[in-house]
């Protein structure tokens, strides 16, 4: 719970420590059991929690939903919301991998190909491997239109990433300059330049105080 009783200027300064690993990613699902089938029976993740709530988090809106969590071997989760009373089929149109996908790691190329055969056998079209230079990946869609990637690191993975990392800021700077004109043609310039926003103009009246 945030300390809302003490005025901000009287609270002790807190030194920020690094944010750690990913805890979970969350998507909408059409149906909890259909989603369980894919992530547990096909991909082999553990169903870690199936929590039922009757109110939207942070808002005083009554709505029953399930929050499902599947655990990966490193302790992180892929999560889903099943919200029966506002679900619509159009929410599950398969999205391009550029827009959204999630990738999980396997240990070898042999394993990657074995997983592709298994997933196809289970009736989910799976293709690849695609060689990305530093990783190789196979791709499929889950029943909710979320693209799922399984990937294996190349032997030179660490060296390739180290080289890339050393140049990343310079490459990004060049990219931003080179693509600015086309972005301005396609997007709102003010939104492109937006960074922090004036919080006094943000309406948070629908959110509960935490």
Under the rule (CB under 5 A), what is the footprint of Fe ion?
A: 103, 149
Contact 126, 120 (CB under 8 A): yes
Alpha-carbon distance values, 63 to 43, 55, 56, 84, 86 (Å): 30, 5, 6, 9, 9
For residue 43, the minimal CB distance to Fe ion (Å) is 16
Closer Cβ to Fe ion, 65 or 141, answer by number: 141
Which residues are CB-contacts of 107 (< 8 A; sequence separation ≥ 6)?
Answer: 152
Minimum distance, C-beta of residue 78 to Fe ion, in the bound complex (Å): 14
The residue (of 37 and 134) whose beta carbon lies closer to Fe ion is 134
Minimum Å distance from CB 137 to Fe ion?
6
- Let me know the angle formed at the C-alpha of 93 by 80 and 187, rounded to the nearest 5 degrees: 100
Strands of 62-71's sheet in order across: 24-28, 77-82, 62-71, 46-55
Residue 66 vs 126, nearer CB to Fe ion: 126
Tokens 């945030």 label which residue?
2
Closest distance of CB 135 from Fe ion, Å: 8
Burial 137-172 (b: 16+ CB within 10 A, else e): bbbbbbbbbbbbbbbbbeeeeeeeeeeeeeeeeeee
CB of 103 vs Fe ion, minimal distance in Å? 4
For residue 157, the minimal CB distance to Fe ion (Å) is 14
Residue 32 or 135: the one with the smaller Cβ distance to Fe ion is 135
For Fe ion, the closer of residues 103 and 168 by Cβ is 103
What single-letter DSSP state applies at residue 6? S
Nearer to Fe ion, 142 or 149 (CB): 149
């Amino acid at each position: 719970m945030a300390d809302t009783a003490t005025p901000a200027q009287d609270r002790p300064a807190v030194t920020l420590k690094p944010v750690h690993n990913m805890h979970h990613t969350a998507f909408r699902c059409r149906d909890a059991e259909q989603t369980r089938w894919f992530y547990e029976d096909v991909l082999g993740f553990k169903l870690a929690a199936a929590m039922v709530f009757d109110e939207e988090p942070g808002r005083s809106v009554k709505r029953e939903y399930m929050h499902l969590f599947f655990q990966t071997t490193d302790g992180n989760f892929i999560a889903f919301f099943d919200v029966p009373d506002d679900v619509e089929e159009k929410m599950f149109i398969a999205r391009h991998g550029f827009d959204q996908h999630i990738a999980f790691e396997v240990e070898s190329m042999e394993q990657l190909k074995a997983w592709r055969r298994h997933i196809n056998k289970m009736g989910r079209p799976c293709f690849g491997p695609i060689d990305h230079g530093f990783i190789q990946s196979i791709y499929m869609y889950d029943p909710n239109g979320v693209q799922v990637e399984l990937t294996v690191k190349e032997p030179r993975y660490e060296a390739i990433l180290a080289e890339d990392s050393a140049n990343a800021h310079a490459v990004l700077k060049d990219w931003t300059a080179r693509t600015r004109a086309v972005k301005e043609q396609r997007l709102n310039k003010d939104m492109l330049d937006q960074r922090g926003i004036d919080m006094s103009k943000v309406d948070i009246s629908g959110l509960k105080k935490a």
